[in-house]
Homo-oligomer: A and B are copies of this chain.
Amino acid sequence: MSERKGATAKRQAATQTGKVAQAVAEGRMLPGSPEREQASEGRVEAAYRYLRNAILSNELPAGFQAAENEIAAQLGMSRTPVHEAMARLQEEGFVQILPRKGILVRALTPADLLEIYDVLIALEGAAAELLAAEADHALSSTLVELQASTDAMAEALADGDLDAWRAADERFHDALVAGCGNGRIQRMAATVAGQSHRARRLTLHLRPMPTNSAAEHQAIIDAIRSGDAAAAGEAARAHRRHARGQLVPILKRINFRQL
């Protein structure tokens, strides 16, 4: 009716239903993360991204419960794609499908977070080993990105900008697994890392200042540069172990319902 759809709207006269869904599927109207413009990937992918972002940004907090119906209506699509997206989200641990009661956004328990950190320790250690074993260190754009994000971390820490520090830290860890050349490691790490982002944003201001994180990152970079795979892997594992160790006492104090 009074919808403003923007000048670039294509395929307007498609099916009578699903105008909003089409917009979401084309990458517009994704609240929270605009991300890069990407060709329409279908309604399932759109629903998945929307819901994942909504959960990660705490727009759908833990304990939130809804029916596929409502979510589908809100997204302007039918239940089917929402249903499939929910199956994916359940596999990844974000939600729980209660057989005939609805969909429940799961809380991250301390046990979940410890599991996630142990997975990250393993995968990032492997990624560091693989990077160190690669040949073209001089030309590696990954090393450039790792160094840049580490420098950005140090700078943000000097400015006391914790949000910038967190962003740079995520850049480093994303670059580490993205650059290792193993797509499976990258996808698995991205999945579990997404789950941990929720918690890390809440705990960010509760833990001591991460003064030596940049140094630990630098140690990883140096080991990769020197081609010492074992040292690089151990440095990455030690770094995550350190972060895990800092997290444990915090987890015992806060109210987990808010995760």
List chain A positions with a Cβ less than 8 A from chain B: 44, 84, 87-88, 91, 93, 115-116, 118-119, 121-123, 125-126, 130, 182-185, 188, 192
Contacts and interface: CB of A to CB of B under 8 A. Distances in A.
Contact of A185 (B44, B119, B126): B119
A135 to B, nearest CB: 15
Contacts of A44: 87
B185 A122 contact: yes
Contacts of A84: 84, 87
Contact of A118 (B91, B121, B126): B126
A126 B115 contact: no
A72 B199 CA distance: 42
A184 B115 contact: yes
A119 B184 contact: yes
Number of copies: 2
Contacts of A184: 93, 115-116, 119, 192
A28 B35 CA distance: 46
A136 to B, nearest CB: 17
A230 to B, nearest CB: 9
A86 to B, nearest CB: 11
6 nearest A-B residue pairs (beta carbon): A122-B126, A122-B122, A115-B182, A115-B184, A119-B184, A118-B182
Nearest to A192: B184
A179 to B, nearest CB: 14
A142 to B, nearest CB: 16
A184 B185 CA distance: 14
Contacts of A88: 87, 91
Contacts of A123: 119, 122
B188 A118 contact: no
Contacts of A130: 118
Contact of A125 (B87, B122, B185): B122
Given A122-B123, A123-B122, A126-B121, A188 B185 contact: no
Contact of A119 (B116, B118, B121, B126): B126
Given A122-B125, A126-B121, A126-B122, A115 B188 contact: no
